[in-house]
Structure 1
Amino acid sequence: MQLFKLEQEIKILAQFDGELHEFVTKIRSVHEDEITVYGTYKGRSTPFKQGTDVEILFTQPDAFYSLQSTIISETTFPDHLLVFKGMREKINRLQRRRFFRVATRLRIAFAFLGIEEGKRQKIIHSTFTKNISGGGLYFYFENPLQVGEILPLEVFLPDEEKPIEAKGRIVRRDTIKKPDIMLNAYGINFEKIQESDRTTLITFLNRIQGRVKQI
């Protein structure tokens, strides 16, 4: 199996100063059991230096994977680059791409077309997930939404500065009866999401499940 390809986006994790740090970047070159990545990506520079032991998270068509590696060299001119060694050792499959669901309460925000002040307009609403996976989420909402409708979404993870942005399609609608209220429950599949954001979400869910060993 070819693990990496040029311009593939990956996530790098490392523990130092008592905190877990992460850096998203792209692969510049691949050579046997080494890869070279950009040390500066999307205006952000890596916090990692030569000699740092890291965990690398990446995706393949069949599953999500992680592996342990070490930064063996760093250059700053003409480009800021990092070189990693041992890319075919200790490869762990985190989960298949069919995704597993985790029952957890995460804040989400989404936009939908509704009636407000007598006018049909876009409304922003915030609620919480009942469960979520790398492929979608499930939540309660009083208002009626249509199966097939696509919603712009934001998912807020603890300790993440920015929310995960996605577009989700409603694929399921259930009616939940409670003593004092009747709720609609909706299942959403992510139609559009950055793979780096999906990896961030799955990494978080894996930690909840205790499936990823902390480095």
Structure 2
Amino acid sequence: MKDKNFPQLGQKLIIVRTKMTGEKVEYVSQLVDIESNGELAVAVPIKNAQLVTLLNGTKITVIYNNSESGMLEFEAEVVRKLNGKVPLMYIRKISEITKGQRRNYFRLDLLVPIQIIKSNEDVIHSGFTKDISGGGLRMVTDVDLMEGQIIHVSFELEDRTYNLKSQVRTKFSSIDNKNEVGIEFLDIIEIDRNDLIKYLFLQQRMLIKRGM
């Protein structure tokens, strides 16, 4: 447990659970203690400022930032919970620590207006994002989009405008004539991706301060 790549006590963690549908759900947590048997005590995860209960036996991915090695991750299993002033969840590491691909799929719940233009069209459609990552986003719009379709999206974060060629990767169930889709950015340059990720992590830290 003294591996220099191991998360430090008090460090913020992102816990990722994969649903049966393949959709990844992310929660904010924090490393509280390391037991003598190797179990990790982490704060019960938070999603939208609400505590989330994960069943014992649930497999998760733990992602965190290391000052020397960058974004790292490992697989873990939920083994037990402990209620108290600070509710804890105990997890067991079940894989080696590896260099994470976090930059590509870290998602933050974020509601911002977005404009959509279909490939080979000039009509601008509107919608709003549900979450954004360094590699894509999830959005809701009136326009009907198909998996694999190429589109261009435009949205603003603070004073920065992102205009990105994208591809629809996932189409979710439609409700009240609203279409929910997940898209992947196809041509985002590295400097723009870095700026986007920095913004998302800044917003995440602000949420942690308010939620924990």
TM-score normalised by L of structure 2: 0.48
Q: Which has the higher strand share?
A: 1
Bigger RCO (CA 8 Å, 6+ sep)? 1
TM-score normalised by L of structure 1: 0.48
Q: Answer with 1 or 2: which has the greater Rg.
A: 1
Q: Which has the higher helix share?
A: 2
